[in-house]
Amino acid sequence: MAEDEAAGQVRAIIVPEGAAGSRVDRVVADLTGLSRSYVQKLIAAGHLTHQGRPLRASDVLAGGEQLELFVPAAAPLELTPESVELSVVYEDDDLLIVDKPAGLVVHPAPGHASGTLVHALLGRGTSYGGIAGIQRPGIVHRLDRDTSGLLMVAKHDAAQASLMAQLKARRVKKTYLALVQGSVAAAVGRIEAPIGRDPKHRTRMAVVPDGRPAVTGYRVRERFPGWTLLECDLVTGRTHQIRVHLAAIGHPVAGDPVYGTGTSRRGPEGLGRLFLHAWRLELAAPSDGHLIRATAPLPEDLEAVLEGLRATAGGRPAQARAVVR
């Protein structure tokens, strides 16, 4: 490879025998934790080799190969740090976990050139991993603008690679709180339905036969007249997954302007946004593997909505918490 190792990182990858017959881009993405699209870009640039020979993304593996992947150092970040107060619920030498407020965009995008979580992170003066791209320093997953709650940020490349690999292997447990319309019949349930672009509305996602596999588990936490508060486990991480899955079973998330209609879109009295909150994270520490568990209580605006529902129900929920772990 022409690049000097000091300008980036060379990773040795041993292909498992069980990967025989698989495309090289898919296997490398799975083994490194990098996104498949980013791996494809690296391959197109000649950065993946086998015995000195550059590979193509579509090459099929025999199993047992020893590959070398060069990951260039992140380009200098051309974003201006901003002083934005962040609620940090956990921090060590590898990562921090922030409690993102609703309304805060995670990373820069058209229409959001400033005032994002990334700008706020840079304002802390901390270094971050760069393997997800210069616009996403340390970012390994995201939350929609109107979703509040916990989000992990890696402080260096090794930590970022570890977190991305854990996410890809579904070893990070992400639990959300969602208020949904109607009375959810089962106290505990699991939704398995593929998600892809809505063929009728390309800006939305939907349950479609040729979509990517998606799994959401849920437990009833509290019941109210006309509404149910759920704990939702995000087993996979598809775009808008919880919102799409719950709408598909007839229980859209309260305050959802995209997948809700009528009463569900408006939500209970006092609700001014999507009632979806990333409540708890469980993951292995990148350095030594010990369990990290972080929680973020419901924001005051969402808790106030629940208090209003409890008052309407006569001072207590229509049914006590159904499942306690």
Residue listed under structure tokens 């270094």:
127
- Residue 162 in tokens: 């570890």
Q: Cβ-count burial of 237 within 10 angstroms (0-12 exposed, 13-18 middle, 19+ buried)?
A: middle
Helix 36-44 with 24-32: angle, nearest 10 deg: 120
Name the active-site residue from 144, 146, 198, 233: 144
Decide if 40 contacts 1 (C-beta within 8 A).
no
Query: What Cα–Cα distance (Å) separates residue 129 from each residue in 143, 158, 307?
Result: 19, 8, 41
- Residue 193 in tokens: 């339905």
Active site residue 144: yes
The DSSP 8-state label assigned to residue 18 in this structure reads G
Element (H, E) at 292: strand 291-295
Using DSSP bridges, classify how beta strands 276-284 and 173-181 pair: parallel, antiparallel or unpaired.
antiparallel
**Residue type present at position 292:** I
CA 106 centroid distance within chain: 11
The dihedrals phi and psi of 4, each to the nearest 5 degrees, come to: -80, 140
Query: What Cα–Cα distance (Å) separates residue 253 from each residue in 34, 172, 186?
Result: 31, 23, 17
Query: What Cα–Cα distance (Å) separates residue 11 from each residue in 19, 71, 318?
Result: 18, 8, 56
**Residue type present at position 109:** A
Element (H, E) at 266: helix 262-266
Residue in 241, 222, 242, 219 with CA at minimum distance from that of residue 231: 219
As annotated, the active-site residues are 144
